[in-house]
Amino acid sequence: MAESNNHDSNSKPTWFTPKTLLVIFCMINMLNYVDRGAIASNGVNGSLRTCTEGGICTGGNGIQGDFNLNYFQDGVLSSAFMVGLLLASPIFASLAKSHNPFRLIGVGLSVWTFAAAGCGISWNFWSIAIFRMLVGVGEASFISLAAPFIDDNAPVAQKTAWLAMFYMCIPTGIAVGYVYGGLVGGYFNWRFAFFGEAILMLPFVVLGFAVRPLQLKGFGPVELEKTSAPEAEGYGGAVSGNGELINYISKKTAWSKGKSDFTNQVSKFWTDFKVLFSDKVYVVNVLGYIAYNFVIGAYSYWGPKAGYAIYHMENADLMFGGVTIVCGIFGTLAGGLILDRMNSTISNAFKLLSGATFLGAIFCFSAFLSHNLYGFLVLFAIGELFVFATQGPVNFVCLHSVKPSLRPLSMAMSTVSIHIFGDVPSSPLVGVLQDAVNNWRVTSLILTSILFISSGLWSIGIFLHSVDRYDEVEAFAAEGPDSSPLLCENTADMSNESRLP
């Protein structure tokens, strides 16, 4: 028995520690958002062929120029990944109950790598649009499952800070994507930007299948069910001698089992869905997140245009981008560290969410009231520091307000909700508002006021009865011999030793 235990211990890769897991997941997350930034960059997105009144024409470049896309088609490409993301996220979250979640991430990253390379070889609008949708499918497995893995393996006193580091990669990745796409598209060709992304992601695909699969807390070990065709015992000796009949029965049995498995999967998903959205704490958290994302999505799209119209910024893209990146990094990290210092409870998370968003709304609202450019930049930067401090706490609540086995679905449905009801409709709706009032200052103030609604919704969570369900033990998990995460023994040690740099 001692020899067996030593063998199992030695078989685990000693380099694959919780910190290594965090670094790997942060790199993957950043690469996902580098792709978002790259396709929006001038070097990759490009421009249409233009001609002056004098008959002098400038050739188009990038995706838009090569495929001769109008602005509507170009806009579709920027959000096409959302279709695959929204459809596949709940599916991957549901499959995590019957398939190893770590392997599902490997499958998703394989699809992402294939789709990124496909974008590089695309030949027209429809081909690249389909590959962009597949990029979203590949990303879906990662966004549903990565956060629960980080939450499982983070030191107890630093869970929110680790989540904050993970989500800090979003603004950083987009910024790097702008630069990466501009350089590659400018010096080589826009297609090479997508090939480069696929090459960079390939090692993580290999890792997803090569490393011993991790197990999420709350999920029993997945065992393959061995099925065979009915033997002579069930059908008599005559059947055992009839190969064609055995083959027919085997196919029919496999088809029936597949149909039954699909039905069970749908039934389980619907049951979990109802449990998830009957949880008041979870619903309030997501509603606040939707309102928050409505504003942030519109800021990212219309911010530079509003800044140019109100304050006549010469480099509105650079100014807004720079402020968002810096405040996104420091604000996100600060929010995670502060909640850990406050003691990471759901009630404290709601206090931080409500308070930070309220202060952020005040500063951002005051910024758009300012008639001085530098006054605007200072007030808006402070406001964004507070606003981005919510990233760690809001995802902490998503993970800890539900039982462990529901965390992948919790993250998936949160992502689906904030996109469908948040940033996807916000940009066109704000555009409609601007068409009606024809005043960017008024439009920006009305938009910013929605942050007060977000703060109010999150403040409701402070008064709800909330229970941290992270350590809740489910019946099947208690029986499973290997239901705890692979790296859990390292996590216990790190709770005392590990400190964020």
Distance, CA of 412 to CA of 93 (rounded, Å): 7
Residue 364 banded pLDDT, cuts 50, 70, 90: very high
CB 152 within 8 A of CB 485: yes
Is the confidence at residue 499, as pLDDT, over 50? no
Work out the angle at residue 36's Cα, subtended by the Cα atoms of residues 32 and 39, and round it to the nearest 5 degrees: 130
| Helices and strands: H and E segment counts in the chain | 23, 2
What element of type H or E holds 252? helix 243-276
Least confident of 176-190, 215-229, 336-350: 215-229
Residues 484-495 have a mean pLDDT of 47
The reported pLDDT for the residue numbered 39 is: 82
The reported pLDDT for the residue numbered 78 is: 74
User: Chain-centre distance of CA 178, in angstroms?
Assistant: 19
The reported pLDDT for the residue numbered 415 is: 85
The reported pLDDT for the residue numbered 257 is: 55
What angle in degrees, to the nearest 10, is found between the helix axes of 316-342 and 346-369? 150
Secondary structure class of 78 (helix, strand, coil): helix
Residues 28-43 have a mean pLDDT of 84
pLDDT by residue (tens digit) across 128-167? 999 999 998 888 888 888 888 888 888 877 888 888 888 8
Is the confidence at residue 398, as pLDDT, over 50? yes
Percent of the chain topping pLDDT 90: 24
Among 84-93, 233-242, 280-289, the range of highest mean pLDDT: 280-289
The reported pLDDT for the residue numbered 92 is: 83
Is the confidence at residue 497, as pLDDT, over 80? no
Distance, CA of 85 to CA of 331 (rounded, Å): 26
Task: Give the burial class of 159: count Cβ atoms within 10 A of its Cβ; 0-12 exposed, 13-18 middle, 19 or more buried.
Answer: buried
Residues 213-218 have a mean pLDDT of 68
In DSSP notation, 292-303 reads HHHHHHHHHHHH
pLDDT by residue (tens digit) across 298-342? 887 677 778 778 887 766 656 766 777 788 888 888 888 898 888
The reported pLDDT for the residue numbered 218 is: 60
The reported pLDDT for the residue numbered 367 is: 92
**492 or 166: which carries more pLDDT confidence?**
166
The reported pLDDT for the residue numbered 230 is: 43
The reported pLDDT for the residue numbered 358 is: 97
Would strands 57-58 and 50-51 be described as parallel, antiparallel, or unpaired?
A: antiparallel
Distance, CA of 30 to CA of 166 (rounded, Å): 9
Distance, CA of 197 to CA of 28 (rounded, Å): 11
Instruction: Quote the DSSP letter at residue 493.
Output: H
Q: 3-class secondary structure for 320-358? A: HHHHHHHHHHHHHHHHHHHHHHHCCCHHHHHHHHHHHHH
Is the confidence at residue 287, as pLDDT, over 90? yes
CB 218 within 8 A of CB 477: yes
The reported pLDDT for the residue numbered 457 is: 95
The reported pLDDT for the residue numbered 5 is: 44
Residues 362-380 have a mean pLDDT of 91
Secondary structure class of 467 (helix, strand, coil): coil
Residue 252 banded pLDDT, cuts 50, 70, 90: low
Least confident of 58-67, 136-145, 190-199, 242-251: 242-251
pLDDT by residue (tens digit) across 270-286? 787 788 888 999 999 99
Rounded alpha-carbon distances, angstroms, from residue 215 to 6, 325, 487: 20, 34, 9
pLDDT by residue (tens digit) across 413-426? 888 888 889 887 88
CB 278 within 8 A of CB 433: no
pLDDT by residue (tens digit) across 116-127? 999 999 999 899
- CA pseudo-torsion sign 414, 417, 420, 426: negative
**445 or 180: which carries more pLDDT confidence?**
445
SS3 content of the chain, % helix, strand, coil (to 5): 80, 0, 20
Both tokens of 451, joined, read 């942050």
Distance, CA of 155 to CA of 385 (rounded, Å): 25
Exposure class string for 210-234: b at 16+ Cβ within 10 A, else e: ebebbbbbbbbeeeeeeeebeeeee
pLDDT by residue (tens digit) across 36-51? 888 877 788 777 766 6
Is the confidence at residue 235, as pLDDT, over 50? no
Is the confidence at residue 228, as pLDDT, over 80? no
pLDDT by residue (tens digit) across 161-189? 888 888 888 878 887 887 888 888 888 88
- List the one residue out of 223, 253, 222 whose CA is nearest residue 235: 253
In DSSP notation, 11-77 reads HS-TT--HHHHHHHHHHHHHHHHHHHHHHHSHHHH-B--EE-TTS-EE--BHHHHHHT--HHHHHHH
For the beta carbon of residue 471, count every other beta carbon within 10 angstroms: 9
Distance, CA of 447 to CA of 454 (rounded, Å): 12
The reported pLDDT for the residue numbered 219 is: 61
Cα atoms in the 13 Å half-sphere on the side-chain side of 33: 18
- List the one residue out of 138, 143, 145, 89 whose CA is nearest residue 110: 138
Residue labelled with tokens 């792709």: 35
Both tokens of 459, joined, read 């403040």
